[in-house]
Structure 1
Amino acid sequence: MKRIKFSLSLVAVIALLMLVAGVVAGRATGGGGSGGGSGDGGRSAGKRIDVIIKASDSSFWQSMLAGAKQAGGDFGIEVSLFGPTSETDVGQQVQLVENSISRGVDGIVLASNSSSALNNVIERARKEGIKVIAVDTQVTTPVDGFIGTDNLKAAEQAGAKLCELAKASGRTAGNVLIESSVAGVQVLTDRETGFRGGLAACPDLKIVGPRFNNNDINLAASQVNDAITADPNLVAVFAANNTSGVGAARGIKDNNAADRIPVVSFDTDPQQVAALGDGSLDVLVVQNPYFFGYQGVVVAGMAAVGSIPPRNIDPGAVLADKSNMGNEEIKTLLTPPTAKAD
């Protein structure tokens, strides 16, 4: 099967979102529950798709649920929405996939909390004829499609931007802290690698870390606080996910360091967007979780009826800062609709 990969510009991302969803932020629905199944989805109408996210308490993943729900309504697919409370709860994710197998659904859209720990249950699902679409995190067992950001490329943009900020402030020598969440997660490893590549244009900036906070905002804030107070050569911080970003922003505020220590962070939960506005975060690497959910359901529905969907879809990522966060295209991505798990 031919492998297709899309790397889209911001304009293309917005255009494609409008094309497949028929909505933008002002018109997209964001309530909880299952997709309505009222649309006319052709052969995929009536198919049952379970969507399993990484963490139900995260607005990032709630946006993915909103996209999935919208697709269910648009195409007449019965969509159910699930997720563990924490991204560290791999065991509950395994149980949720097992529950989907027991219910005999037609497809599963899965944002896995591990690249390998869910392999066995994914393999069991596919043996039962259930199509599995991986989202955000690649897994090391075969699936029927993948939708996610090229984290190497996106993080390389982040590293290059941080180098640019350091040059603008005249601090091109010193230490850069990588604040991350969980060790051994491929998405985060890719972000670290890509960031290092982008930062190479500032060879006198040296990486410190990564420090792992286990998706605990308080721990992330404490680690950034410690780095600021203990390291007079700390020049900047790269926060590899939303928890790390919120914690980093808190550490910056606690030390009144916004004017001297720039922070570039992945993801866009409301606390991060607020921090971008008040200057405690300088740049957000903006993904499109709504697209993850919407297109995940579309692809799962196609696979369930024997159509051949693209094998790899990358909606791309863009950089948001205080100067462009008010632009309509960026606002659409910074404030997507959300939905709750069932």
Structure 2
Amino acid sequence: MKQILAPLRSLVGLAVVGLASAAAQAGEIAVIVKTTNSTFWQNVNKGADAAIKTVTGHTMTFSGPASESAIADQVSMVENAVNRKVAGIVLAPSDPDALVPAIKKAWEARIPVVLIDSMVSDAGKPYYQSFLATDNRLAGELCAKQLIAKVGTTGKIAVMSYVAGAGSELGRVGGFRDYIAKHSKLQIVGPFYSQSQMATALNQTTDVLASNPDLKGLFGANEPTAVGMGRALVQSGKAGKVVAVGFDGNEDLQKFVKDGTLEAIAVQGSYQMGHLGVKTVAEAMAGKKVAKFVDTGAVMVGKGNIDKPEAKNVLY
């Protein structure tokens, strides 16, 4: 590897401006996501792969554990990236606390880290350069608003969530619940945690529908959870009868929107997370100033706009 041309005089301020006194290094950019077993994260990979082609002299690896709940495995992946002295890390942390020591090790090794999708706890804020994500709280509020518009302000709804405590889950479901509490008298059942397993979400939703025959609405808070929720609605014969709003935009969810199983889906800019994540970490590696937070956006997609450019730009 080429050697650093300018020594690092201080680690102070790295969180704001990146590795300010380091020259760009040829080497590996490690993109580590919550799991590779999801089309959402595969779309992140597509964006990252497109971006690395524009970053001269660097290669990219893409990895993630078998499931989003395999937090220890993800910690090991980050530590291994630090040990093999990668040039930069793009990370979607599965847990806000467990990943902090690992990104601290990267910081101590002078490896810039850009977070995507989910935040770490306050203890980790000095150790990453930028955070690129959906404004999950706002997206959760948009889903709540969409549901209220269809079910009204009274009755019972259920929240089908994914991994308790994940940064994106805290913002997304928190925003949803707070908006419901502030703008309606709807009673919330749950949340139920699928661990981002579609089959688990299907079974949980089936149980919720059976035990709550008066249920008026459902919120499925991420891709596998929303897919499982949609399939449960179809199998129970309640598709189109119970109003459902999902999250993310793979082919299954698009089909559910088109056939009326789901009222709408909030679709994140997953491709943008990967693309901007790689571009941003490359800038930090070059000593350039990078924004501490970048909102990659979310689009509410329903039957009325699913074929329009605003939707096609984010669906995958």
**What range describes the TM-score normalised by the shorter chain of this pair?**
0.7 to 0.9
Residue 200 of structure 2 is aligned to residue 219 of structure 1: yes
Q: Give 3-state SS (helix, strand or coil) of 2:140's partner.
A: helix
Specify the code of the residue in structure 2 equivalent to 1:71.
Answer: A
- For the residue of structure 2 that corresponds to 1:333, the secondary structure is coil
**Residues 82-137 of structure 1 deviation map (CA, whole Å, 9 limit, x = unaligned):** 11121111121112112211221111000011101011111111101100111111
Q: Equivalents in 2 of 1:202, 1:232: separation in Å?
A: 24
Residue of structure 2 in register with 1:66 after alignment: 46
Task: Give secondary structure in 1 for the equivalent of 2:287.
Answer: coil
- Indicate which of 180, 197, 200 corresponds to 1:199: 180
User: For residues 151-300 of structure 1, what are the structure 2 equivalents within 5 Å?
Assistant: 151-167=136-152, 172-200=153-181, 203-300=184-281
Where does structure 2 lack aligned partners over 5 or more consecutive residues?
1-12, 17-22
Equivalent residue, structure 2, for 1:81: 62
Are the aligned partners of 1:221 and 1:247 in contact in 2 as well (CA < 8 Å)? yes
Choose from 94, 107, 112 the match for 2:93: 112
Q: Tell me, what secondary structure is at the counterpart of 2:160?
A: strand
User: Who is 1:56 aligned against?
Assistant: 36
Q: Which residue of 2 aligns with 1:339?
A: none
Q: Which runs of no fewer than 5 residues in structure 1 stay unpaired?
A: 5-42, 336-342
Structure 1 Cα separation of the partners of residues 311 and 240 of structure 2: 24
1:157-179 Cα offsets, whole Å, 9 max, x none, are 11011000113xxxx42111000
Matches within 5 A, 1:132-151: 132-140=113-121, 141=124, 142=126, 143-151=128-136
Letter in 1 for 2:171: D
**Which residue of the partner structure matches residue 8 of structure 2?**
none
How many residues are matched?
Answer: 293
Question: How many Å separate the matches in 2 of 1:188 and 1:245?
Answer: 13
- SS of equivalent to 1:286: strand
Shift of 1:44: 4.7
- Bigger CA drift: 68-77 or 282-291? 68-77
The two structures have a TM-score, normalised by structure 2, of 0.88
Aligned residue in 1 for 2:107: 126
Q: C-alpha separation between the residues in 1 aligned to 2:213 and 2:81?
A: 52
Aligned-residue sequence identity (percent) comes to 32
Indicate the larger mover: 190-199 or 137-146: 190-199
Q: Which residue of 1 aligns with 2:72?
A: 91
2:25–2:286 Cα contact (<8 Å) kept: no
* 2:286 pairs with 1:305: yes
CA contact (8 A) 1:84 1:93 kept: yes
TM-score, normalised to structure 1's length?
0.81
- Counterpart residue identity of residue 67, structure 1: G
Alpha-carbon offset, residue 269 of structure 1: 2.2
> Which of 307, 321, 326 matches 2:302?
321
Q: How far off its partner does 1:326 sit?
A: 0.7
4+ residue runs over 6 A deviation: none
Find the aligned partners of 1:206 and 1:90 in 2 and give their Cα distance: 32
